[in-house]
Amino acid sequence: MKSASSFDARDFRQALSMFATGVTIVTARGDDGEPVGLTVNSFNSVSLTPPMVLWSIAKSARSRPVFSGDAHWNVHILAEEQEALSNRFSRAGEDKFFGLTLERGVSDAPLLPGCSARFQCQTAFEYDGGDHTIFVGKVIAYDRSNRAPLLYLSGAYALASRRAADVATQPSAMPSAPYSENLLGYLLGRAHYQFMAGFRQRLQHYALSDADFFILSLLVVREPMGDDELATHIGYTGAAADPRSLLSMVDRGLLLQADGYRLSPAGRDAILDVLASAKSAEAQLVQQLGEQDAASLRNLLKKCILASDPGLPALWTTP
């Protein structure tokens, strides 16, 4: 335990960073008509009746006076896809609003689109907070969306996710067996096969095996591909790009063989139909999960893929 007299500023900052916060951009307009804005993670609610919120700004910030008095300002809770916007407004010395589409609000303070929530406010109180000034604002108007919010935790961006219920055990069970529902392999495998069950009927309609599906999906992204390139891209699945299977799809009119393999018109129609069914299954899953958990799931799966990647070549790039 460290006493106040022995605080190290850097270590203290790291301790504070263990508290996950949302990421906001606060905007206003100066007396000269120029828009100002900065990235803030000190935002918090104060009161529901009347509706009031607060945030703080460094006393050394050049834009601090813009928010004083009875100034109007807007707080934007950023959505998870607005990381680049957060970075832009955290930097000094550039036109932060260049190229941005702004919306009209109840005041002339800039209103940014695409956020998880927005609060249009007017300064009610201003307090001294050490090296910061704390602004308390009266909320005049607000709106929200279903977009997952962007978080900041331990010095990096993060996403929020609600804790899941148990999958295959009773809530009170404490499985000690070597194979349990907490095994990542079980969770990833079961999720994969349950998801594919949502469009497997379309695969069966075209008599496509899982390997056929993987190959046709690859060729939607890039074609032509040769035997070796196809094998490299799908080898991690355990399914092989068997030359006999490829020739079978040629014979069935799904593939064309010329400088590698290409989709035939019939093959393109088939895989686009299957992928449309897969997207429908995904939409149903997202509806069940909610946008917030779906965004967290995508993020965690990407992290899992990067952590276990055996060195597969990039697919969505120019060859």
Q: How far apart are CA 277 and CA 284, in angstroms?
A: 11
Answer whether 313's CB lies under 8 Å from 232's CB.
Answer: yes
Fold of the domain spanning 13-159: Pnp Oxidase; Chain A (2.30.110)
Does residue 314 register a pLDDT over 60?
Answer: yes
- Other beta carbons within 10 angstroms of residue 19's beta carbon come to 10
pTM surpassing 0.75?
no
Would residue 114 be called left, alpha or beta, if left means φ above 0 and alpha means ψ between -120 and 50 degrees?
left
Q: How far apart are CA 75 and CA 40, in angstroms?
A: 9
Q: What pLDDT band is residue 164 in, cutting at 50, 70 and 90?
A: low
pLDDT tens per residue across span 24-45: 999 999 989 899 999 998 999 9
Nearest to 146 by CA among 7, 3, 287, 315: 287
Could you tell me which residues come within 8 angstroms of residue 6 by beta carbon, excluding any fewer than 6 positions away? Answer: none
Of the two residues 294 and 140, the one the predictor is more confident about is 140
pLDDT for 292 equals 77
Mean pLDDT of 70-97: 91
For 184-308, CATH number out of 2.70.150.10, 3.90.1150.10, 1.10.1330.10, 1.10.10.10 equals 1.10.10.10
Mean pLDDT of 98-121: 94
pLDDT tens per residue across span 262-274: 999 999 999 999 9
Of the chain, the end-to-end C-alpha distance in Å amounts to: 56
| Domains in the chain: boundaries | 13-159, 184-308
Answer whether 107's CB lies under 8 Å from 121's CB.
Answer: no
* Domain pair 13-159 / 184-308, same fold: no
Provide the mean pLDDT of the chain.
87
pLDDT for 296 equals 82
Q: Which of 51-55, 163-167, 201-205, 285-289 has the lowest mean pLDDT?
A: 163-167
Mean pLDDT of 75-101: 91
Mean pLDDT of 284-305: 86
Mean pLDDT of 178-183: 74
Does residue 59 register a pLDDT over 70?
Answer: yes
Strand boundaries in 66-217, DSSP class E: 72-77, 117-129, 132-144, 150-153, 156-159
Q: What pLDDT band is residue 165 in, cutting at 50, 70 and 90?
A: low
Does residue 3 register a pLDDT over 60?
Answer: no
Q: What pLDDT band is residue 191 in, cutting at 50, 70 and 90?
A: very high
Does residue 54 register a pLDDT over 90?
Answer: yes
Does residue 289 register a pLDDT over 70?
Answer: yes
pLDDT for 89 equals 94
Residue 179: what residue type?
Y
Q: What pLDDT band is residue 310 in, cutting at 50, 70 and 90?
A: confident
Mean pLDDT of 79-86: 92
